[in-house]
Each structure stands twice: as C-alpha cells, then as structure tokens.
Copies of this chain bind each other. A is one copy, B any other.
Amino acid sequence: MNKLAMTQAIMVAKETKELTWQKIGEAVGMSAEWTASACLGMNSMSAETAKKLCHVLDLGTEVELTLQKYPNKQWDQAVPTDPLLYRLYEMMSVYGPAIKEIVHEKCGDGIVSAIDFALNIEKKPDPKGERIVITLDGKFLPYKSW
C-alpha cells in the first residue's frame, strides 16, 4: 500500500465515522495539524500512534504500516493554484524579504528550520468577520563556518 491509497482509506473512514481532525488528534494524543499532515502522507507516525489512529478509524494493518513509512515528500505544483494554498504562497513571497530582515535582526545569519518545526491553527473571532491565525514555530539554525 502506498501513501496515496492510505490517505484515501483514511479520508473515507473519517467521513463515514463523521470525525474531525480535532477529534482524531485528541484520540491519538497529537495535534490536529500534525495528525492531518501524517494522514495526508507528509509525515511518518510512530508505531504506537499509527496503532491508535487505526483503532479510532477502524482501519487495518496495511494502513498502520504505511503510516509508519518515511515519506518521499513531493508536490506537483511549484506554485499552487488552489486559492487557499496560493494565498499561503503569496504571504511568504510578499513578506519573505521582510521576514528575512527581522529574523537576521533578532538572531543573526541563519535560517528557521522547517524540520524542527511545528504549526498551530486557531480561529479568532472578530467583529468584522472571523480570522485565522497560523503560528509557525521553528528552531533557529545559525550557519556554521569552518
């Protein structure tokens, strides 16, 4: 079973059982965001977490094993077309140079890790219409010289 088939099996089970990522995440003891990411084939699960997930969703051993495989992270569209995904791309393109300035000002020459990394999404009420707050939390890695 490959990651694509795994994702499809999970999506069908999630829909049938009328579960949310929030509830699945709670059931496996991880955040909704990371759980969704692993179920979409973009992260690997520990054996224990994969077992819990398949228990919650009533899925078999094949899904359980495939969740543990180390993924080959690929995306087809260098620039995404889906409007929600494009807006994320646009935020990073418009504000990327400013982020670079501020990060260097705070920590010196280096990068923000996308590996030692976590993200969180919250809905924020607002009189003019609700807002989404996405928090990206990555380790600062200074360049090494030698």
Chain B residues with CB under 8 A of A58: none
Judging by beta carbons under 8 Å apart, are B132 and A103 in contact? yes
Residue of B nearest to A134 (CB): B136
**A43 CA to B119 CA, complexed, in Å:** 26
Residue count of chain A within 8 Å CB distance of chain B: 89
Contact A83 B90 (CB under 8 A): yes
Is A47 on the interface with B (CB-CB < 8 A)?
no
A82 beta carbon closer than 8 Å to chain B: yes
B36, B108, B135: the one contacting A133 at CB < 8 Å is: B135
Find out whether the CB atom of A138 lies under 8 angstroms from the CB atom of B31. Answer: no
Which positions 1-55 of chain A face chain B at CB distance < 8 Å? Answer: 20-22, 30-34, 36-38, 40, 42-46, 49
Contact A132 B107 (CB under 8 A): yes
> Are the C-beta atoms of B143 and A137 separated by less than 8 Å?
no
In contact, A115 and B83 (Cβ under 8 angstroms):
yes
Chain B positions within 8 Å of A92 at CB level = 85, 88-89, 91-92
Which chain B residues lie closer than 8 Å to A72 at the CB level? Answer: 82, 100
